[in-house]
């Protein structure tokens, strides 16, 4: 994978003759370990259990699943169906699977998809960094960094590009209950890159905004509908409502492959429900009485009217998104 050897974050996902090698994100931040998937089943388990996660990384993982099936001489259509079913919200998973399926050489195609993801994220980052002023205090949610992609990151890539261009951004990291992608992964990445960051509990966002300590919110997306409604990690919608109330810009950064023109509005985006254990257990300890009813929807949908701009790899879209996203896709 073409990655500067000086990159402090290792490649999220790599292909090596019939094997997919992943950073096992379940071990972070204490343990930087790797896991290998040699079959579609093993890869699907890695996706379902969040060893690999984040929409663009799932796109690459989906394509690599097809490459694995093709390498092993297995039925590609059955593999595609199995992979796409693992996580329903992130449209990039389906996008990656379809791209590999459409190629005469799925292995060559996955290498290109991974390299292209890093190139596109760097472009998106450079475009988005223009929106940040000197010393911006940026609130982010979940993990949208290198670990969520083949490399570099989307929303975190924007912050990283601003840092690299000498704008000295500072990041408020929302811990992101229940799986804690913010505290486990984003705080880890920012520390490795050397960007100042402060961790907050998710529910502290309102008072920080009220105190005038947030200049903008910058988040990623798992799927963007044709009208600009944005599905992202649960809690994103609350931040958008808060940002509007406090007159703070709310930016979404995502590659165009995250836009699903087949979904006219956010209402048709499927929202993944995850196991209750994620909410009631932590580090082997029970946090709620046995038998407590749990609703663990992993994503929410932010209406387009709350989104200040959508930063893509091909340009920045403004309202009305139905028109601007289409124009960028052309």
Q: What amino acid positions are annotated as catalytic residues?
A: 222
- Stretches 2-10, 141-149, 284-292, 302-310: which one binds ligand MRU (CB under 6 A)? 141-149
The sign of the dihedral angle between the CA atoms of 31, 32, 38, 44 is: positive
Nearest position to ligand MRU, beta carbon: 220
Q: How many helices (H) and strands (E) does the chain have?
A: 12, 16
State yes or no: residue 220 binds ligand MRU (CB under 6 A).
yes
Which position among 11, 54, 96, 169 is part of the footprint of ligand MRU (CB under 6 A)? 54
* Least distance to ligand MRU, CB of residue 107, Å: 25
User: Do 174 and 140 touch, CB atoms closer than 8 A?
Assistant: yes
Using the contact rule CB under 6 A, the part of the chain among 7-15, 48-56, 263-271, 309-317 near ligand MRU is: 48-56
**Phi/psi of residue 111, nearest 5 degrees:** -65, -40
Q: How far apart are CB 105 and ligand MRU at their closest, in Å?
A: 27
Residue 232 near ligand MRU by CB under 6 A: yes
Q: Which of 298, 301, 306, 325 binds ligand MRU (CB under 6 A)?
A: 298
Distances (CA, A) of 184 to 122, 197, 246: 23, 13, 28
Instruction: Give the orientation angle of helix 91-101 with respect to helix 76-84, to 10 degrees.
Output: 170
DSSP secondary structure of 89-129: S-HHHHHHHHHHHTSS-HHHHHHHHHHHHHHHHHHHHHHHH
Q: How far is the CB of 220 from ligand MRU (least distance, A)?
A: 3
Residue with tokens 């096992």: 24
Site string for ligand MRU, 1-30 (x = CB under 6 A): ------------------------------
Distance of CA 323 to the CA centre of its chain: 24
The answer to whether residues 59 and 121 touch, using CB atoms and an 8 Å cutoff, is no
Verify binding: residue 177, ligand MRU, rule CB under 6 A. no
Comparison of 107 and 317: residue with beta carbon closer to ligand MRU? 317
Is the separation of the CB atoms in 258 and 223 below 8 Å? yes
Size of the site for ligand MRU (CB under 6 A): 17
- The site for ligand MRU (CB under 6 A) is made up of 53-56, 90, 142, 144, 148-149, 154, 181, 220-222, 232-233, 298
């Amino acid at each position: 994978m073409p990655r500067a050897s000086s990159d402090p974050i290792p490649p999220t996902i790599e292909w090596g003759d019939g094997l997919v090698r992943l950073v096992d994100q379940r071990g972070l931040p204490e343990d930087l370990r790797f896991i290998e998937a040699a079959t579609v089943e093993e890869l699907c388990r890695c996706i379902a259990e969040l060893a690999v996660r984040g929409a663009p990384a799932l796109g690459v993982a989906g394509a690599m699943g097809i490459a694995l099936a093709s390498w092993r001489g297995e039925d590609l259509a059955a593999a595609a169906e199995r992979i796409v079913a693992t996580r329903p919200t992130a449209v990039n998973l389906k996008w990656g699977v379809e791209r590999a399926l459409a190629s005469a050489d799925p292995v060559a195609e996955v290498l290109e998809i991974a390299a292209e993801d890093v190139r596109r994220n760097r472009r998106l980052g450079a475009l988005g960094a223009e929106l940040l002023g000197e010393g911006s205090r940026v609130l982010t949610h979940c993990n949208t960094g290198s670990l969520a992609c083949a490399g570099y990151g989307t929303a975190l890539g924007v912050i990283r590009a601003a840092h690299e261009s000498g704008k000295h951004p500072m990041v408020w990291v929302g811990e992101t209950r229940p799986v804690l992608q913010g505290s486990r992964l984003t705080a880890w990445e920012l520390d490795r890159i050397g960007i100042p960051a402060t961790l907050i509990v998710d529910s502290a966002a309102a008072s920080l905004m009220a105190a005038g300590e947030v200049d903008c919110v910058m988040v990623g997306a798992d799927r963007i509908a044709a009208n600009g409604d944005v599905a992202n990690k649960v809690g994103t919608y609350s931040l958008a409502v808060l940002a509007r109330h406090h007159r703070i810009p709310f930016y979404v950064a995502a590659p165009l492959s995250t836009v699903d023109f087949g979904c006219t509005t956010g209402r048709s985006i499927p929202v993944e429900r995850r196991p209750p254990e994620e909410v009631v257990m932590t580090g082997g300890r029970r946090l709620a009485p046995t038998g407590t009813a749990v609703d663990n929807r992993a994503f929410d949908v932010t209406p387009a009217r709350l989104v200040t701009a959508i930063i893509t790899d091909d340009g920045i879209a403004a309202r009305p998104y139905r028109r601007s996203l289409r124009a960028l896709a052309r």
